[in-house]
Amino acid sequence: MKTVTIASTWCEGCSGCHMSFLDMDERLVTLIGKGLELTATPITDLKIPPMGTDIGIIEGSVATDHHEEEVKELRKRCRLIVALGDCAVFGGIHTMRNYFTVEELLERGYVSTESTVGGVPPASPELGKLLPKVLAVNEVIKVDFYIPGCPPPADAIHHVLNEILEGRMPKLEGNLLQYD
């Protein structure tokens, strides 16, 4: 049986889209029965997908240099990239920080908040640096398929994976295409 390997990651996301993925419930088992194979995801042990993974699914927008690196790496390792959820597809709610500078954000978030005394913006070298603007995934790498939603309905995610497993190009319409 031909397998279809998928990897996934979440960037600037709330993991809601992955929860929606899991909301397929037992249909996930059926898809695995049809050849779906999970490799590296935030909820499985493997963290780096193998080269040549069939589908890379990205949740969340690109907000830090770490995210930028991660999505570019996934683009190299996966044949198809799917943007999952409004943040990955459009930029999402995080883009509300685009109307301020990074300095203003860090100051407001860590120094002048109502409940902070003596706050300091974190500066550990391990942390990703905030990009000047939160970006949709397609502004950084080429995206092959989009599943909008906040989160996308589990039915939409199931439809896309099922179509691919059955050898057809998926198309989202009707109840499966939602922006909220």
Partner 1 sequence: MDSKFTITLNGKEVEALPGQTVLDVARSHGVPIPALCHHKALIPRGSCRLCVVEDSGRVRASCTSPAEPGMNIVTESPRLRAAREMVLQLIFTGRNHYCMYCEVSGNCELQDLGYDFGMDHFTFPTYEKRFPVDNSHEFILLDHNRCVLCGRCIRACADQAGHYVLTEKSRGYRTLVVADLDVPLGSSSCVSCGSCVQVCPTGAFIEKRSAYQGKKEQIKTVQMACDRCPVGCTIDVHGNPETNSVVKIHGDWDAPPTFGLLCRTGRYLSLFDGRPRLTKATIRQDSEVADIPLDKALNLFMSRIDQGRAYVDGSLYNEELARLKELFPGRLFSLNPVTPPLPSTARIGDLGDADLFVLFRLDLDREYGALGSLVKKRVRSGAARLVLVDAAPEVFEKLPAERLSSEAFLARLDRVEGAGAAVALYRDLDDKEKEALQKMESLRRLWLPGETNTLGLARHGIGHAPVTGDTVFLFGENFQGIDVGNPGFLACFTPHENGVTEKAALVVPTLKGFEKQGTLFNLEGEITTRSAVVTPPAPLADIAKLPPPIPEKR
Rounded to an integer, what distance in angstroms lies between the CA atom of residue 111 and that of residue 30?
50
Which residues in the 98-137 window bind partner 1 by CB under 8 A?
98-99, 133-134, 136
Nearest to 79 by CA among 39, 136, 128: 39
How near is the Cβ of 103 to partner 1 at its closest, in Å?
A: 16
Give the 3-state DSSP-derived string for 47-73, with helices as H, strands as E and coil as C. CCCCCCEEEEEEECEEEEHHHHHHHHH
Which residues in the 38-97 window bind partner 1 by CB under 8 A?
83, 86, 89-93, 95-96
How near is the Cβ of 178 to partner 1 at its closest, in Å?
A: 8
C-alpha triplet 123, 125, 127: angle, nearest 5°: 75
At 17, which amino acid appears? C
Specify the residue, 21 or 146, whose C-beta has the smaller distance to partner 1: 146
The answer to whether residue 11 forms part of the interface with partner 1 (CB under 8 A) is no
- Cβ atoms of 81 and 141 within 8 Å: the answer is yes
Specify the residue, 45 or 180, whose C-beta has the smaller distance to partner 1: 180
Q: Which residues bind partner 1 (CB under 8 A)?
A: 83, 86, 89-93, 95-96, 98-99, 133-134, 136, 138-139, 143, 146-148, 150, 171-173, 177, 179-180
